């Protein structure tokens, strides 16, 4: 029963492995112009479905309750969308002299440019017992910001504007991300009671659509005879990704727990997860748009595909440790705030 329960929880990571394996065996099915017609079914229908689904499941009232914690929001968004991509860019200047595959290095830069995810940071913050409302707000708000800022960052750091006209990036993102998200929120207002009662599996639906996107991306890779990925580069990139996550989690933890930071232990939990997690749901469709026509698109996508399961795995392993720290810290703060008993003479 334990193994079945574990498989049920890890089905998405197993799904990624499976769809990549199927793409390797029969890439002709999902290539551009193939039977699945991914240039229509994936680029427009699948991506729109993901964000309609997000709009339908997002609880607007929960986000508004966290709106006033401006300092926390500023820290998370600046770290995610300014410090993170800049630090990665500086780090990649050193790695560029190594024999690591240049397209995987470009992929690491795209990871840095991505906004926070709507799900994983919130799920882990909730598991620890941290400030869930702040995690929800920052994940959702970061995703909205990412629609505008991430393409700008990709163009700034990778100069992909030669491949796709700047206006087409935003028009396609607007039509396939913003519009479905707004429609989802409007529909939610009318069927809110039904959604609360039935609790449809929104996460599983988005994940299944995402697996389709990953499958077609890798079909394009394996169908291209010019692409060759060496194992050395892949192993090094996996190591780099885990190192980046650990370093940035530690950095955000140190900053948010310093004296006079103004953050509670529950806030720190939300900050650590929201600042270091990156969105695969928004990331893969965005890469599909920004790097349309790139023969190395799937190689650029690999670091993000590794980063996503890595952040969930690492976060899950750290939940008990962070939870015990938060509880003990909250108890210590409670004791210091209690008025001292008067001394009897």
220, 32 Cβ separation under 8 angstroms: yes
Which residue would you say has higher pLDDT here, 154 or 32? Answer: 154
Show Cβ contacts of residue 189 under 8 Å, excluding neighbours closer than 6 positions.
none
**Tokens 């939940």 belong to residue:** 319
Q: Compare 242 and 161 and report the one with higher pLDDT.
A: 242
State what percent of residues in the chain have pLDDT above 90. Answer: 16
Characterize 35-48 residue by residue with b for buried, 16 or more Cβ atoms within 10 angstroms of its Cβ, and e for exposed.
Answer: ebebeeebbeebbb
Mean pLDDT for all residues in the chain: 80
What's the chain's length in residues?
A: 345
Q: What is the pLDDT of residues 231-246, one digit of tens each?
A: 888 889 989 999 999 9
Q: Which domains does the chain have, with CATH numbers?
A: 3-328 (1.20.1530.20)
Reading the block at residue 272, the tokens are: 């650590």
Whole-number pLDDT of residue 79: 94
Question: Hey, how many other C-beta atoms are within 10 angstroms of the C-beta on 254?
Answer: 11
Range 235-239, long-range pairs (CB < 8 A, 24+ positions): 236/98, 236/100, 237/100, 237/104, 237/107, 237/108, 237/302, 237/303, 237/306, 238/306, 238/310
Whether the Cβ atoms of residue 72 and residue 134 lie closer than 8 Å to each other: yes
CA 137 distance to own-chain centroid: 14
To the nearest 10°, report the CA torsion of 152, 12, 298, 21. 180
* pLDDT tier at 251, thresholds 50, 70, 90: very high
pTM across the whole model? 0.71
Per-residue pLDDT at 77: 92
Q: What are 155's two structure tokens?
A: 């163009």
CB atoms inside a 10 Å sphere around CB 85: 22
Cβ atoms of 273 and 117 within 8 Å: the answer is no
Please report which confidence band the pLDDT of residue 157 belongs to, taking 50, 70 and 90 as the band edges. confident
Q: Give the whole-number percent of the chain exceeding pLDDT 70.
A: 85
Highest mean pLDDT among 69-73, 155-159, 243-247, 255-259 belongs to 243-247
């Amino acid at each position: 029963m334990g193994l079945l329960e574990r498989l049920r929880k890890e089905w998405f990571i197993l799904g990624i492995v499976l769809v990549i394996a199927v793409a390797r065996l029969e890439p002709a099915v999902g290539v551009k112009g193939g039977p699945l017609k991914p240039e229509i079914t994936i680029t427009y229908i699948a991506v729109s479905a993901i964000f309609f689904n997000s709009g339908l499941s997002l609880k607007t009232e929960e986000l508004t309750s966290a709106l006033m914690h401006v300092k926390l929001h500023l820290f998370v968004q600046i770290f995610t969308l300014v410090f993170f991509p800049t630090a990665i860019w500086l780090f990649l200047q050193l790695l560029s002299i190594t024999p690591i595959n240049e397209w995987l290095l470009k992929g690491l830069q795209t990871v840095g440019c991505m906004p926070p995810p709507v799900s994983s940071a919130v799920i882990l913050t909730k598991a620890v017992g941290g400030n869930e409302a702040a995690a929800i707000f920052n994940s959702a708000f970061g995703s909205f910001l990412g629609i505008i800022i991430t393409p700008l960052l990709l163009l700034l750091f990778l100069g992909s504007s030669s491949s796709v006209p700047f206006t087409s990036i935003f028009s396609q993102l607007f039509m396939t991300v913003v519009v479905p998200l707004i429609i989802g929120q409007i529909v939610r207002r009318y069927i809110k009671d039904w959604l609360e009662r039935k609790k449809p599996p929104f996460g599983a639906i988005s994940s299944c659509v995402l697996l389709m996107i990953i499958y077609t991306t890798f079909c394009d890779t394996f169908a291209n005879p010019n692409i060759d990925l060496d194992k050395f580069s892949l192993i090094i990139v996996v190591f780099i990704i885990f190192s980046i996550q650990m370093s940035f989690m530690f950095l955000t933890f140190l900053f948010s727990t310093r004296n006079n930071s103004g953050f509670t232990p529950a806030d720190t939990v939300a900050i650590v997860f929201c600042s270091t997690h990156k969105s695969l749901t928004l990331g893969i469709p965005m890469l599909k748009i920004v790097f349309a026509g790139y023969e190395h698109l799937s190689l650029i996508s690999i670091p993000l595909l590794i980063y996503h399961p890595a952040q969930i795995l690492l976060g899950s392993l750290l939940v008990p440790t962070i939870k015990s720290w938060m509880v003990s810290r909250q108890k210590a703060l409670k004791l210091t705030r209690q008025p001292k008993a008067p001394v009897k003479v």
